[in-house]
Amino acid sequence: MRNYLSKRNNDLGFGFFDEVFDDFFKPVFYGVKENAMKTDIKETEKGYELAIDMPGYDKKDINLSLDNGYLKVEARREEKEEDKDAFVRRERSYSCARSYYVGNKITEDDIKAKYDNGILELFVPKQDKKELPKRNIQID
Cβ(124)–Cβ(106) below 8 Å: yes
Predicted model pTM: 0.65
Tens of pLDDT, residues 53-64: 998 899 999 999
Helix (H, G, I), strand (E, B) or coil at 22: helix
How far is residue 15's CA from residue 139's CA, in Å, rounded to a whole number? 35
For 76, the enclosing helix (H) or strand (E) is strand 70-76
Domain count for the chain, please give it: 1
pLDDT at 8 over 80: no
Assigned domain for 19 exists: no
Domain annotation covers residue 108 = yes
We report the CATH number of the domain holding residue 43 as 2.60.40.790
Q: How deeply is 101 buried, as exposed, middle or buried, from its count of CB atoms within 10 A (0-12, 13-18, 19+)?
A: middle
Inter-CA distances, 128 with 1, 57, 70, 131, 138, Å = 9, 34, 17, 9, 29
How far is residue 79's CA from residue 94's CA, in Å, rounded to a whole number?
Answer: 7
pLDDT of 44 strictly over 90:
yes
- Domain encompassing residue 67: 38-125
Residues 6+ away with beta carbon under 8 Å from 39: 50, 51, 52, 53, 98, 100
CB atoms within 10 A of CB 94: 14
At 50, which amino acid appears? Answer: L
25: in domain:
no
Q: Model confidence over 95-124: pLDDT tens digits?
A: 889 999 998 888 899 999 999 999 999 999
Evaluate whether residue 9 is within a structural domain.
no
